[in-house]
Structure 1
Amino acid sequence: MTMNRANLSSVSEFLLLGLSRQPQQQQFLFVLFLSMYLATVLGNLLIILAISTDSRLHTPMYFFLSNLSFVDISFSSTTIPNMLVNHILDRQSISFPGCLTQMYFLFMFVDMDNFLLAVMAYDRFVAVCHPLHYTTKMTPHLCVLMVAGSWVVANLNILLHTLLMARLSFCADNRISHFFCDVAALLKLSCSDTHLNEMMILFEGGFIMITSLVCILVSYIYITFAVLRVPSTKGKWKAFSTCGSHLAVVSLFYGTVFAVYLTPSSSHSSEKDIVTTVMYTVVTPMLNPFIYSLRNKDLKGALRKVLERKKFSTQ
Structure 2
Amino acid sequence: MMKINESSEKYFILIGFSEYPQIEFILSLFVSGLYTMTLTGNAAIILVSILDSRLHTPMYFFLRNLSFLDMFLTTSIVPQMLVNMWGNSKISYLGCMAQLIVNFAFGSTECVLLAVMSIDRYVAVCMPLRYTTIMHPRICHILAAISWIWGFGNSLFQSSLAIALPLCGHHRVDHLLCELLFLIKLSCVDTRPTEAKMLVARLVILIGPVSTILTSYACIARAVVRMKSAEGRWKAFGTCASHLMVVFLFYGTVMFMYLQTENNYSQNLGKALSILYSIVTPTMNPLIYTLRNKDVKRAIRKFILKN
Would the TM-score normalized by the shorter structure come out above 0.5?
yes
* Matched AA of 1:13: Y
- Structure 1: distance between partners of 2:136 and 2:223: 22
Deviation of 1:5 after TM superposition, in Å, equals 7.5
- Report the counterpart of residue 20 of structure 2 in structure 1: 22
In the alignment of these two chains, the number of paired residues is 306
Question: Which structure 2 residues correspond to residues 104-115 of structure 1 after superposition, within 5 A?
Answer: 104-115=101-112
8 Å Cα contact 1:257-1:277 kept in structure 2:
no
Gaps of 5+ in 2: none
TM-score by length of 1: 0.92
Question: Which structure 2 residues correspond to residues 79-228 of structure 1 after superposition, within 5 A?
Answer: 79-88=77-86, 90-228=87-225
Deviation of 1:144 after TM superposition, in Å, equals 0.6
1:37 maps to which of 35, 38, 41:
35
1:270 maps to which of 254, 267, 271:
267
Question: Which structure 2 residues correspond to residues 52-91 of structure 1 after superposition, within 5 A?
Answer: 52-88=50-86, 90-91=87-88
Deviation of 1:129 after TM superposition, in Å, equals 0.8
Greater shift in the superposed pair: 24-33 or 187-196? 187-196
- Structure 2: distance between partners of 1:6 and 1:281: 30
* 3-state SS in 1 of match to 2:168: coil
Question: Which structure 2 residues correspond to residues 268-307 of structure 1 after superposition, within 5 A?
Answer: 268-307=265-304
Deviation of 1:309 after TM superposition, in Å, equals 2.8
- 1:234 matches 2:236: no
1:251 maps to which of 244, 248, 253:
248
* Matched AA of 1:36: L
- Structure 2: distance between partners of 1:97 and 1:224: 48
Deviations 1:19-58 (A, max 9, x none): 3422222211111100000000001011111101100000
Cα distance change of structure 1 residues 266 and 195 upon mapping to structure 2, 3 Å threshold: closer
- Structure 2: distance between partners of 1:20 and 1:287: 27
- Report the counterpart of residue 50 of structure 1 in structure 2: 48
User: RMSD across aligned C-alpha pairs, in angstroms?
Assistant: 1.9
Percent of residue pairs bearing the same amino acid type: 43
Cα distance change of structure 1 residues 217 and 20 upon mapping to structure 2, 3 Å threshold: farther
- Structure 2: distance between partners of 1:302 and 1:21: 46
* 3-state SS in 1 of match to 2:205: helix
Deviation of 1:235 after TM superposition, in Å, equals 1.5
Deviations 1:96-149 (A, max 9, x none): 111111000001000111011001000000111111111111000010111112
- Structure 1: distance between partners of 2:16 and 2:302: 40
Deviation of 1:270 after TM superposition, in Å, equals 0.8
